[in-house]
Structure 1
Amino acid sequence: MKQLEVQIMGQSYLLGCPEGGEQRMLEAVEKVDGAMCRIRDAGKVKARDRIAVLAALNLAFDAAGRHSAPQAATALASADLTSAGINGANGNDPRLAGLLERLDRALRQDGRLL
């Protein structure tokens, strides 16, 4: 296993990576860094853990959309996920609204995920 040192939102991380997977890992790091920086730069969220969770949810939602295109296209249109964070809890998708409410409650409880 190879180790890569990368920067995500200005912080260094040492990541394990399988041989031959370096390019894919660097592409993943670039996506995560970009998603987190866009959320941070929008100025609506300051806590690094909340930024990470929102970026992960955005990326996971996008990835799920690629696997079930017709249903995901409808969900994306109604959810209104943006690069500045998840703003789509507007009643169009009750599952997404419920997920966001649970996430907000959990993060308000102690301000950290782990």
Structure 2
Amino acid sequence: MNSIEVTIMGQGYRLVCPEGGEAPLQAAAAAVDREMSAIRDAGKVKARERIAVLAALNLAFAQAERPAAAAQSAGTGDVDVEALIKRIDQALGADGQLL
């Protein structure tokens, strides 16, 4: 495991990541910093915690939109249901129960 130092909204954080994960983690931290800074600079939200939550929601929403946008641009809105069922089965494991 390696550790890297990142800065988000002027505050430093030391993060641990697996070997070879430094660049993706740096990129993720930069995205979080950009998003949080944009929310702060808009001036409507002052509390760091609220800024962090809004940034997390914005980034998660953008991530969720990417597969849908890719499917639409490919000319197909169909979802591979079989692949989704397989992924769900793998996630549930031998238990087979969500709860």
Q: TM-score, normalized by length of structure 2?
A: 0.68
Q: Give matches, 1:20-39, under 5 Å.
A: 20-39=20-39
CA distance in 2, matches of 1:21, 1:51: 26
Cα distance change of structure 1 residues 4 and 70 upon mapping to structure 2, 3 Å threshold:
closer
> Of the two, which has the highest radius of gyration?
2
CA distance in 1, matches of 2:47, 2:12: 17
| Runs (5+) with no aligned partner, structure 1 | 73-114
| Runs (5+) with no aligned partner, structure 2 | 73-99
Q: Give matches, 1:1-114, under 5 Å.
A: 1-69=1-69
Instruction: Please give the root-mean-square deviation of Cα atoms over the aligned residues, in Å.
Output: 1.7
SS in structure 2 of the partner of residue 61 of structure 1: helix
Counterpart contact for 1:3–1:16, Cα < 8 Å:
yes
CA distance in 2, matches of 1:3, 1:70: 34
Corresponding letter in the other structure for 1:40: R
Corresponding letter in the other structure for 1:41: D
CA distance in 2, matches of 1:55, 1:14: 20
Shift of 1:69: 2.2
Q: Following TM superposition, where does structure 1 have runs of at least 4 consecutive aligned residues deviating by more than 3 angstroms?
A: none
How many residues are treated as equivalent by the alignment? 72
Q: Deviations over 1:22-65 (max 9, x none)?
A: 11011001000000000001100000000000000000000000
Shift of 1:67: 2.0
Shift of 1:68: 2.1
Q: Percent identity?
A: 61
Shift of 1:70: 7.5
SS in structure 1 of the partner of residue 14 of structure 2: strand
Cα distance change of structure 1 residues 18 and 41 upon mapping to structure 2, 3 Å threshold:
same
